[in-house]
Structure formats: structure tokens, C-alpha cells
Amino acid sequence: MRVLVLGGGYAGVALTRRLEDRLPNDVDLLLVDDTGEHLVQHELHRAIRRPAIVDEISIPLSDVTYRADVKTAAVTGIDADEQAVTLADGEEIEYDACAVCLGAETADYGIPGVTEHGQPLKRLPDAEAIRADFLDALDRPDGRVVIGGAGLSGVQTAGELAALAREELGSVDAGPELLLLEQQSSVAPGFDAAFQDAIAQALRDRGVRIRTDAVVAGADGDSVTLAGDEEIACEQFVWTGGITGTAALDGERPGVRGDLRIADRTFVLGDAARVVDADGGPVPASAQAAVREARAVAESVVRLVDQEQETESGDEGEALFPPRPEQFRFDAAGWVVSVGDGAVAQIGPAVLTGRAAKAAKAGTGAGYLGSVGEIERALDLVYDELGAAGDR
């Protein structure tokens, strides 16, 4: 039997590690990822200001797995009816169970000029490109840098840019204006109002200007245009306005319910899917949701494998009905975002800022790295987070 995990992000790694512990040794477990590295994406914005953090947040997949085969290759197609995937070199791999954990791409929503002129933040080279252009933009104190989209990645990117300006110039006011645009009526749309307010305040305190109800309608090399035709001149345009499916899924993020399946033996989870949980609630695309979904899918895959092996060993009775898939329910443990060297956390109804929030942020990142066995990297990250200079 072969179990295939596509994508080595949060969902893929959490799932592979569970399956390594629980699947019998005679089941092939294959993890396919186009980079061969596990990127701790929720810290990616940090690499804009501190390139050295890459050592802590990019981990060879062979380091976080122990029995799965890891293949570095791009998936180009998934045929759930035929139970087969195609790789970029034309190789076809058949499976008995497959989990699609390919994450998402940055969406341009067809807005003219956004793909050409908006810089996404999804992968390590994106952080390098944003840093390089921002350092150039710092030479233009009368200029402007626009960040489009104030979700988790946009607010944290704005915070990093403000902190980088302060580190380079001594004061954020000595650099270009940092303008964060959000089409909805608040930053961090979808989160609790108190959390949103605290994030907005933390950004303003650090010199970021925020405009809400500002819909990006176009971009060229020199400006961003808002709906209503207002043109905003800028030296740099960072675009974190939303996500869409990967090419391997034809640009779609398939909708899945609590069983996280698109077919009997094909699961889609993490950012790759639009998940509505077993209680009917939409699940935010997030690292914490991806890891939790992986636990549910691991359970379902183990049931499938158990049944198949029982059938092969002659116990036909079990095979009359497919095994019941695990149902996923999402209950957020809390949220924490960095804003430069500060942080804002929501734990239950309480919203924290200052040292408590910073500790929560450091604990979240380090806790995650610890959960995939990366204790050294976890310690380095805590040092980076709590020892970072220049907090206020």
C-alpha cells in the first residue's frame, strides 16, 4: 500500500509525522515537496528584517521525518478518480490514500498590475526581494511603501518594515511613509474587534499609517490605484491581499467539510482547501488550523489502511462499508501576531500586548519547532524573539 502526502508545510509535516508513528512498516509513506524544506511560514516576515533567521525557519524535510521517503519534486496534477498524481518530470505515482497539503499561492483577483508589480510574501526569495527593495526605498524619505492587505501576513510585514526602517535610519519618520491598505473596515479581518484594535494601535505606535475600506483596483510600477480612481504614488508595493489555489489544483482551493475529503481516499487540508468544519464553521487559513486538520486526516488514513489490510488478510466482513472518516472541528487556541519587536496576542477573550504578548509569540514559534523535534532551532528562535534589540 502507498500513502502519499503532497506538500511539506504545516499540514504535510504534521500529518507525515503522525503517520510515521501509526502506520505499519509495510505501508509506503511518501512525502513530496517542491523545495525539500519545511518552511515555518508564520515567521517568514521576520526574514525581511533578519535574513539570518532563515536557518531557524527553513528545515530539511529529512530532519523532521524518520521513516517516510522524501521526494523533492513539483506536483502538477492530482487525479482523485484514478488515485494518481503527476509530477513535473512526467512521473506518475499511484496511491491508496493521498493528502493534498500544497498550501496556497498569493491571489491577484485579476486586479490589473498586481501580479507584475505587487511583491508577494510566501516563500524565502519573496522575503529577500522585499528586503532588497525596501532598503533601496529607505533612500527616499519623501517616498512611500504600500502594503496591500492587512491579514496575518500584511500586518506582520508592515511591523517588520517599520522596525527595519527604525534600525537603519534611527527613526521610522526618517524613511518613506509606510501605508497599510485594507479593503475591509478593520485590520486583521475576521478576528475579534479587541484584537483588531490592539493590532491597529501597535502598528500606528510604530509609525505605520493604516487606511481601511481602501480597495486596491490596480497597480503599475509607480503607483497603486484604489477603487474610485485615487492614485497613490509609491516606491514599493507589497501585496498580501489573499490566497488562491496552487496550479496543481488548477488554481482552486476546493471546499471540504469536516471529513476533509474530495474523494474516498483523497484528502485536502491546510491552506489548499476552503474548510468548513463539522459544526459548519468556516476555518481560517492558518498554521494552527493546518496542524489540527492533519491530526484528523491521520486518523482517517489509519482507518483506511487498517481496513485495507484486514481485507487483504481475508476478513471480508469489515470491507463491506468504507471506514468512517474522522470529523474535524476547529476551536482556535488563541492568536498571536508580531508587530516589529512587539506583539499582540488573543488568548480566550483577553488581548495582551507588551512582554506577555512577546512571550506568547516566542512560545508559539518555539513550541511549534519543538513539536517537530527541532529543539536547537526552538531555542535560537526564543533568543531571537526575546533578545531582539530595540523593543519599546
Ligand X SMILES: Cc1cc2nc3c(=O)[nH]c(=O)nc-3n(C[C@H](O)[C@H](O)[C@H](O)COP(=O)(O)OP(=O)(O)OC[C@H]3O[C@@H](n4cnc5c(N)ncnc54)[C@H](O)[C@@H]3O)c2cc1C
Decide whether 178 or 226 has the Cβ nearer to ligand X: 178
Q: Are 39 and 369 in contact (CB under 8 A)?
A: no
Which of 5, 19, 27, 41 forms a contact with ligand X (CB under 6 A)?
41
- Which grid coordinates are listed for 241? 491581499
Q: Grid coordinates representing 88? A: 513535473
Q: Is 16 in the site for ligand X (CB under 6 A)?
A: no
Q: Which residue is nearest to ligand X (CB)?
A: 9
Q: Does 7 bind ligand X (CB under 6 A)?
A: yes
CB of 11 to ligand X, least distance (A): 4
Q: In the complex, what is the shortest distance from the CB of residue 320 to ligand X, in angstroms, rounded to a whole number?
A: 34
Shortest CB 297 distance to ligand X, Å: 12
The answer to the question of residue 102 lying near ligand X (CB under 6 A) is yes
Q: Please tell me whether residue 288 binds ligand X under the rule CB under 6 A.
A: yes
Asked if residue 85 binds ligand X (CB under 6 A), the reply is no
The CB-based long-range contact list for 79-82 (8 Å cut-off, 24+ gap) reads 80/262, 80/263, 80/265, 80/266, 81/263
Tell me the number of residues near ligand X by CB under 6 A. Answer: 36
Task: Give the Cβ contact number of residue 59 at 10 Å.
Answer: 20
The contact pattern for ligand X, residues 112-131, with x = CB under 6 A and - = no contact, is ---------xx---------
Element (H, E) at 98: strand 97-100
Q: How far is the CB of 197 from ligand X (least distance, A)?
A: 18
Report the side by side order of strands in the sheet with 261-263: 69-72, 28-33, 2-6, 97-100, 266-268, 261-263
Residue 270 Cβ vs ligand X, minimum distance, rounded to whole Å: 2
Q: Are 245 and 251 in contact (CB under 8 A)?
A: yes
Q: Which helix (H) or strand (E) holds 351?
A: strand 350-352
Query: What is the closest distance, in whole angstroms, from the C-beta atom of residue 82 to ligand X in the complex?
Result: 18
* Choice between 302 and 335, CB closer to ligand X: 335
Question: For ligand X, which is the closer residue by CB, 207 or 270?
Answer: 270
Taking CB under 6 A as the criterion, the residue among 285, 345, 352, 382 binding ligand X is 285
Q: Which of 17, 29, 42, 138 is close enough to bind ligand X by CB under 6 A?
A: 42
Which burial class, exposed, middle or buried, applies to 89 when counting CB atoms under 10 A from its CB (0-12, 13-18, 19+)? exposed
Query: Which of the stretches 101-109, 207-215, 223-231, 319-327 binds ligand X when contact is defined by CB under 6 A?
Result: 101-109
Helix/strand/coil (H, E, C) string of 121-154? CCCHHHHHHHHHHHHHHCCCCCCEEEEECCCHHH
Beta-strand pair 28-33/2-6: parallel
Residue 355 cell numbers, joined: 512582554
Give the footprint of ligand X on this chain (CB under 6 A). Answer: 7-12, 32-35, 39, 41-42, 44-45, 74-75, 101-103, 121-122, 152-153, 156, 246, 248, 270-272, 285-288, 290, 337
